[in-house]
């Protein structure tokens, strides 16, 4: 019995070591990748800080990777969340969204933040959740930012 558990341990260790060689691609965008989004939606300095601290890691190309992003299988798990998050909403490709899509994404954002669904729970365990005041500021900003797209949509449908 002892011998078997030793083999299992060595097997697991080997798998773990091999896993380290498979490294998921990382985002390497800097501040420039969020410039268009911020110029367009005009967040205040406080809101920029909230987005940077709580959202951009998964919803922009500007991801701050923690040390465990170097360690498989956490690296896979992280890459998966980021890829999934960006697939739904990526501020670094904001200019490629239509006015309708921008408005819709901000509408989703309002819902997600209001219901406490964003940031993801797995993220808030380590990073902490939004404070009440931060939620309020995000909601105010997104509501205002939506107005310009609604206006654009009305003009284009005339
Ligand atoms: C750990 C990664 C992560 C963080 C941090 C995060 N999100 Fe998300 N977000 C996701 C994933 C994954 C999805 C898609 C899955 C889902 O709908 O639950 C998503 C979905 C969304 C959507 C829905 C888009 C759509 O079209 O359905 C919005 C809007 C959003 N997030 C906004 C935010 C905001 C605002 C923050 C910061 C307050 C934030 N997220 C923080 C990963 C993240």
Model confidence over 110-135: pLDDT tens digits?
A: 999 999 999 999 999 989 999 999 99
**Which residues lie with the beta carbon below 6 Å from any ligand 1 atom?**
54-55, 57-59, 81, 84-85, 88-89, 105, 108-109, 112-113, 118-120, 123
Tens digit of pLDDT for each residue in 59-100? 999 999 999 999 999 999 999 999 999 999 999 999 999 999
HSE, side-chain direction, 13 A CA sphere, residue 156: 9
The dihedral through the CA atoms of 77, 79, 84, 86 has a sign that is: positive
CA 135 to ligand 1 center in whole angstroms = 14
pLDDT at 135: 98
Q: What angle do CA 9, 15, 19 make, to 5 degrees?
A: 145
CA 58 to ligand 1 center in whole angstroms = 7
Q: In the predicted model, is pLDDT for residue 157 greater than 90? A: no
- Structure tokens that stand for 109 in this block: 């954002």
Spell 49-88 as b/e; 16+ CB within 10 A means b: ebbbebbbbbbbbbbeeeeebeebeebeebbeebeebbee
């Amino acid at each position: 019995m002892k011998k078997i558990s030793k083999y299992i341990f060595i097997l697991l260790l080997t798998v773990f070591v091999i896993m380290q060689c498979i490294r998921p691609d990382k985002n390497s965008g800097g501040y420039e990748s969020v410039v268009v989004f911020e110029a367009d939606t005009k967040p205040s300095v406080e809101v920029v800080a909230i987005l940077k601290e709580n959202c951009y890691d998964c919803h922009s190309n500007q991801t701050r990777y923690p040390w465990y992003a170097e360690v498989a299988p956490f690296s896979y798990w992280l890459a998966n969340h980021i890829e999934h998050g960006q697939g739904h909403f990526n501020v670094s490709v904001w200019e490629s969204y239509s006015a309708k899509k921008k408005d819709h994404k901000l509408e989703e954002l309002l819902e997600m933040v209001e219901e406490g669904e964003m940031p993801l729970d797995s993220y808030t365990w380590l990073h902490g959740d939004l404070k009440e005041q931060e939620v309020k500021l995000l909601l105010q900003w997104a509501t205002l930012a939506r107005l310009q797209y609604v206006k654009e949509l009305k003009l284009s449908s005339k």
